Structure formats: structure tokens, C-alpha cells
Amino acid sequence: MSPLAQELLAAVVKCVAIFAMLLTLFAVMTFIERRILAFMQFRLGPNRTGPFGVLQPAADGIKLFFKEELMPADADKWLFFAAPAVAIAAAFMAVAVVPYGPPFTLFGREWQLQIADLNVGILYIFAITSLGVYGLVLAGWAANNKYSLLGGLRSSAQMFSYELSLGLSWVGLIMCAGSFRINDIVNHQQGMFWHWNMFQHPVAFLVYFVAATAEVSRIPFDLPEGESELVAGFHTEYSSMKFALIQMAEYVNLISVAVLATHLFLGGWHPGIPGLPSVGPLGFVWFVLKVAFLLFVFIWLRGTLPRFRYDQLMDFGWKVLIPVVTLNVLVTGALVLAGILR
């Protein structure tokens, strides 16, 4: 096979594999989240469908598939259909440029576990995150319902308020790694675990974590879809498969944020101790362990913290996070210039 045909085939296989992996992870996450939340709240959670309840996601999927697809009479038909599609498209596009493991050699060629290795990888992810707002805005507007509209406006205002701190938190790392490619930033963190950016740039990591929680509307920042406040926020009027798509978009956003945190702050596929094996598929194992841990922390936060009020949320995003992250950029720049931080 010519190299071009090989590349195309590899790209198609990678796309299908990553798509399948993310969908499976979405299904598993819904189940794991409910179980872990339940254990934290001193109850059992879903344990009846299948052994230990593992068939619960399948049951949920079948139920959602067979529900009636409702659309309000005065809703905007095109936008009502388009909103979940836009949400899920933006969610999946963000994970296209992320590597899932180190490059490895097989059949005499070097293969990348990444669909597209962009030179401006981090900037591209920032751009796609800003496009993620449209799913919420469309959904809130299309349903012609005041709860949806308010929820949609709040959601999108929250999302783009925290986007700025999200992006600025990466500037320190980019300065140290000297490149926008995610592979370069990950390889900058090899060696002992204190070379991980989590320890080298602790303020940036905290800001990123808080901003990421707000970006994906997780508790404590989930007022836009506050179950007791605004009916169901922007997805009030959605049912059946469209609702499932919106949930899928949210979980895939969460997974992509966790994957990004792993690559940018936790060393990606590098084990913390240089001796341990991490070539090819083994690097993928380390990566998965770190992502799993981060997802567990997100679920842990959900079970523990109360919700922010909307004005507290916006105050915090604009008046606390942005000055902190700007100062972080200044200090990191000064340290890099002075040669202290490398």
C-alpha cells in the first residue's frame, strides 16, 4: 500500500476507535458517577440491572430511545434540531487533536496515537471550546420557553466567562515548553513526577481546574441546569434522543477537559518515575489511569460541594480568577526570563 493510502486508513481507524472509546466512556461514566455518588451519600445506587447494575447504561439508552420526541409548537424547528448536533460536534472536535499515548513503531513505521498533530494544538482546543457555547445558546433559544432562554443565556455567559481564565492558565506552560504542540508540552514533563506541570505551575493548575469545572457546568458551577432552580435550564424542552445527545456532549466535554488536564499538568503518558515502562500501549495505560483519577475527583466534587449562586459565580470568574491568572502569567514570564523556571 502506498504511504498515502496507509495514512488515510490509519486516520479512519483512529477516528473510529476514538469515537467508539469516547461513546463507551460516556456510557460507563453515567453508571460510575451514579454509583460513586450513591456510595458517597450512603446509599447503593443502581444495582439491579445486570450484575452489580452494569447494564444500567444500556437500560438508560433503550429507555431514551423509545421515549416520545416532543417539540414545542412555537419552537424554531431548524434550531431545535441543530442545537444538540452543534453541541456534540464541538465536544468531539476538541478531542481530535489530543494524543492518547506516545508514538510507537510497528511494521517498520512510526505511528501516532493522535488523529491530527497540529502545530497550534493548544490554540485549536481553545478555539473549539469557544465554539462549544453555541450548543447551549441555540438550545436555550430554540425552545421558545422562558426557562430555557434564561438557562441558555446563563449557561453561555458562565461558559465564556471562565474560558478566558482557562486559556490564560495555559500560557505559563506554553512559555516553559516553548511550543503550542501538545506532544511538546507532554514531553517537557518527562522525568521524575515533580517535573509535572502540576507541581511546577501550581497556581495555573488550580485555576485550570476551577475554570474547567465551570466550563463543563459541573457542580459547584451547575446553576444553569440547576435542577431545583430553573426546571432543567436550557434543555427543559428536549426529550429522548436529543436530550441524550446533549448529555453526551456534556460528558464528552468533561472527558476532554480531564484528558487535557492530564496532558498539560499531569505529564500525559509519562509515569512519574523514569524507570517504569511507558512505550506505546503501556503509555496509554498510564494516561488512562490519570484520566480516571481526574474524573473521580470531578465526581467527588459533585458529591461534596453545594452550588454557587449565579452572581457569586460570575463575580468569582471575573473578579478573582482573571486577576489571579494574569498575575500568574506575569510571574511565570519573569521566572522564565530569569532562568529559574525551565
Partner 1 sequence: MTIDAVLFYVLAVVVIASALVVVGQRNPVYSAFALVVTFCALSAIYGLLGSPFIAVLQIVVYAGAIMVLFLFVLMLLNVRREEGPKRGKSMRVAAGVLALAFVAEVGYVVTIAERGSGSATFDASTKPMAELLFSPHFAYTFLATSVLIVAALVGAVVLAKKDEA
Q: Per rule CB under 8 A, is residue 336 in the interface with partner 1? A: no
Which of the stretches 30-38, 73-81, 236-244, 265-273 binds partner 1 when contact is defined by CB under 8 A? Answer: 73-81
What is the torsional sign of CA 136, 220, 47, 288? positive
Contact 37, 45 (CB under 8 A): yes
Q: Cα 106 to the chain's mean position, in Å?
A: 30
Distance in angstroms (rounded) separating the CA atoms of residues 204 and 88: 28
Which of the stretches 48-56, 140-148, 238-246, 332-340 binds partner 1 when contact is defined by CB under 8 A? Answer: 140-148
Q: Choose, by CB under 8 A, the member of 31, 92, 100, 126 that binds partner 1.
A: 126
Smallest gap from residue 60 Cβ to partner 1 (A): 31
Q: Cα 100 to the chain's mean position, in Å?
A: 14
Q: Where are the alpha helices (DSSP H) in the chain?
A: 3-40, 56-66, 77-94, 121-131, 133-142, 146-169, 171-177, 182-187, 197-200, 202-215, 240-265, 281-304, 310-315, 322-337
Site string for partner 1, 76-95 (x = CB under 8 A): x-xx----------------
What is the torsional sign of CA 182, 162, 210, 324? positive
Q: Per rule CB under 8 A, is residue 334 in the interface with partner 1? A: no
Contact 215, 129 (CB under 8 A): yes
Distance in angstroms (rounded) separating the CA atoms of residues 140 and 134: 10
Q: Per rule CB under 8 A, is residue 123 in the interface with partner 1? A: yes
Contacting residues for 86 by C-beta, under 8 A, at least 6 apart: 134, 135, 138
Distance in angstroms (rounded) separating the CA atoms of residues 205 and 267: 12
Q: Choose, by CB under 8 A, the member of 81, 111, 134, 296 that binds partner 1.
A: 134
Pick between residue 28 and residue 89 the one whose CB is nearest to partner 1.
89
What is the torsional sign of CA 97, 197, 169, 307? positive
Contact 159, 215 (CB under 8 A): yes
**Considering only CA atoms, which of 133, 135, 129 is closest in space to residue 235?**
135
Pick between residue 124 and residue 196 the one whose CB is nearest to partner 1.
124
Q: Choose, by CB under 8 A, the member of 18, 96, 143, 157 that binds partner 1.
A: 157
Which of the stretches 48-56, 60-68, 124-132, 226-234 binds partner 1 when contact is defined by CB under 8 A? Answer: 124-132
Site string for partner 1, 228-247 (x = CB under 8 A): --------------------
Site string for partner 1, 163-192 (x = CB under 8 A): x----------------x------------
Pick between residue 90 and residue 219 the one whose CB is nearest to partner 1.
90
Q: Per rule CB under 8 A, is residue 153 in the interface with partner 1? A: yes
Pick between residue 284 and residue 318 the one whose CB is nearest to partner 1.
318
> If binding means CB under 8 A, how many residues of this protein chain bind partner 1?
28
Residues forming contacts to partner 1 in the complex (CB under 8 A) are: 76, 78-79, 118-120, 123-124, 126-128, 130-131, 133-134, 137-138, 140-141, 144, 149, 152-153, 156-157, 160, 163, 180
